[in-house]
A and B are shown apart, each in its own frame.
Chain A
Amino acid sequence: MSTYALTDSWTMTRRELAHWARQPVQLLVGLVFPVMLLLMFGYLVGGGRGVTGDYLDYLVPGMLALTMAFGLEGTLLAVTQDLNKGVIDRFRSMPMTNGAVLVGRSIADMLQSALGLAVLIGVAYALGWRAHGSPGGFLGAVGLLLFFRFAMLWIGIHLAMVAGKPELVTAVQILVWPVGFLSNAFATPETMPGWLGTVVEWNPMSHTATAVRDLFGAPGGAPGHTWAAIVWPLALLAVFFPLAVRRFGRLSK
């Protein structure tokens, strides 16, 4: 039983990887989009401030965190599409491990996000951005980003199962923009009106971005924030992971 849990999860992961191979353009667009945002904000918006090394130092961790947050859309879309297809009925009428569908989704999404981080960091490097911290700090930052993405993943799975309709995907695709931008990804809260600054500071994504800045030795970082970048995603997971798993088991009601 437990060995089947592993093989079933691997089979479902392979299914997602096969989808990538079938739809390389889709994967590519997903990877290029954050790069486009980085260039836009770095040169168009940041241009107004003069693209100093300092702003890139500030912007890159924010963009990395934003990319992780936007990953929620991809998860939501993929799970919604799966649930609305007949194939989920076949999976559920088969003697496979119940959660394998979700595990496969998680692994594939995490792989894609790791790839996304690598591409974005590579492009930033080419633009002249450098991490100033230690190699350990660098790995820690990547770990925090992926942990945040993991929390987003389970929010996405849960939302997909609660609503399960393509209409919701569109709504969420629009909503992630204000939520993503109401963070310190592009600007420090100090430059904002007081109430807005408070909202921005509470955004879980801001904590991750701040912690990553610290570990990269970039301006805008604060040493105390690493714990917040662990606690927030952990809290989100504590809520959404059990909800999503329970919901998945209840699909048969």
Chain B
Amino acid sequence: MADPAITVEGVRKKYGGKGGKVALDGLDLQVTRGTVHGVLGPNGAGKTTLVRILSTLLRPDAGRVEVAGRDVLTHAREVRFRIGLLGQHAALDEELGGRQNLEMFGRLYHLGTRHARVRADELLERFGLAGTGRKPVKQYSGGMRRRLDLAASLISEPEVLFLDEPTTGLDPRGRAEVWDSVRSLVGGGTTVLLTTQYLEEADQLADRIAVVDGGRVIADGTADQLKSLTGADRIDVTLRDADQLGAAVALLPVPEDAVTVDADRRLLSAPVTDRMTALSSVVRALEETGIEAEDIALRRPTLDEVFLHLTGDERASDPRVKEAV
């Protein structure tokens, strides 16, 4: 990684003085130019604090942060010319219309009045907002607002784009709209740092994923690399009859406490080392005992299994993680 788009070294941030809450506890991260880097973590992991520091909104207590090759503390203004920010809450003037918003931001990026107008029309067209006219943003739907917000963060054609939980609070349709927009951006060579609580979102959009917990990066790699962190592939067996789940646990070629049982889906899941041996032994054992299976599948672990594995099992009770599953 000769010339990373984002470098974060040993960044610390504590809120509220003595006895305050530690948000970032020596966080390190490098993001390669032209890639999408997901930052995945539960609520309170420090994701938003990281984005606010990267986008020059917040000063770190310690550590070094460079964005687009410039130090965010000493060259904040130069950094601001090169970044776009999509925060968790819409950063728009709600009283004004979409076009008015984009023109205003364009002028503040010093595009000049005429160019700002052209750029606003371009972006409205691109994000399917061309017909919104003078309607104030406060009357927009959640998805429209998010798209306009994204358009606003792209006015200056930023080298680096920060997306802080871009789909939180959106319905599935709004989420799909935002995902499509992000995918189309990546083709243009923009570097994207994307925070999310949704494993699926990171899996869908990111080239690499940093898992953040307690203000540090606890794992960083491609989705495949992270999946291999939990070690083994898994075998999933779906039974026809939920009453036979207990009996079937003993048939899997692993210690019983390694098997997860999902009674609702009549599903047993267990890590395996040798895929083919495991598959044939399970099939044989099912035939011998006469337990009927609806489906048997070998698969890589899902990101949520990785996530739970990395952050500790107490997170399993976090409803947001469940929601993302």
Contact = CB atoms under 8 A, between A and B. Distances in A.
B59 A252 contact: yes
Contacts of A92: 56-57
A140 to B, nearest CB: 37
Given A22-B95, A23-B95, A90 B59 contact: no
B80 A86 contact: no
B21 to A, nearest CB: 15
Interface in B89-107: 89-96, 100, 104-105, 107
Interface size class of A (residues with CB under 8 A): 20 to 34
A22 B96 contact: yes
Contact of B107 (A7, A19, A88): A7
Interface stretch (A49-57, A93-101, A171-179): A93-101
Nearest to B56: A93
Contacts of A90: 85, 87, 91-92, 105, 152-153
Contacts of A18: 95-96, 100
A73 interface: no
Interface in A1-52: 4, 7-8, 11, 14-15, 18-19, 22-23
Contacts of B59: 252-253
Interface string B127-155: 00000000010000000000000001100
A95 B80 contact: yes
Which residue, of A15, A92, A95, A96, has the highest number of chain B Cβ atoms within 10 A? A95
Contacts of A85: 93-94
Which applies to chain A's interface (DSSP): helix, strand, loop or mixed?
Answer: helix
Contacts of A86: 87, 89-92
A22 B136 contact: yes
A15 B97 CA distance: 11
A94 B92 contact: no
Given A93-B55, A252-B56, A11 B96 contact: no
A89 interface: yes
A93 B108 contact: no
Contacts of A100: 108
B16 to A, nearest CB: 11
A126 interface: no
Contacts of A15: 93, 96, 104
B109 A94 contact: yes
A19 B152 CA distance: 19
A91 interface: yes
Contact of A89 (B83, B85, B93, B94): B85
B114 interface: no
A27 to B, nearest CB: 12
Interface string B165-187: 00000000000000000000000
A7 B57 contact: no
A96 B104 CA distance: 11
Contact of A11 (B57, B85, B107): B107
Contacts of A96: 108-109
A94 B108 CA distance: 7
A99 B57 CA distance: 15
Which residue, of A23, A96, A253, has the highest number of chain B Cβ atoms within 10 A? A96
Interface of B: 55-59, 77-78, 80-81, 83, 85, 87, 89-96, 100, 104-105, 107-110, 136, 152-153
Given A8-B108, A87-B91, A90-B92, 20 more contacts: A4-B110, A7-B110, A15-B96, A15-B104, A18-B96, A86-B87, A86-B91, A87-B92, A87-B93, A89-B89, A90-B85, A90-B91, A90-B153, A93-B57, A94-B108, A94-B109, A95-B81, A252-B57, A252-B58, A252-B59
5 contacts: A22-B95, A85-B94, A92-B56, A93-B57, A95-B81
Interface of A: 4, 7-8, 11, 14-15, 18-19, 22-23, 85-96, 100, 252-253
Closest A-B pairs by Cβ, 10 of them: A90-B91, A86-B89, A86-B91, A95-B80, A96-B108, A93-B85, A93-B55, A11-B107, A95-B81, A89-B91
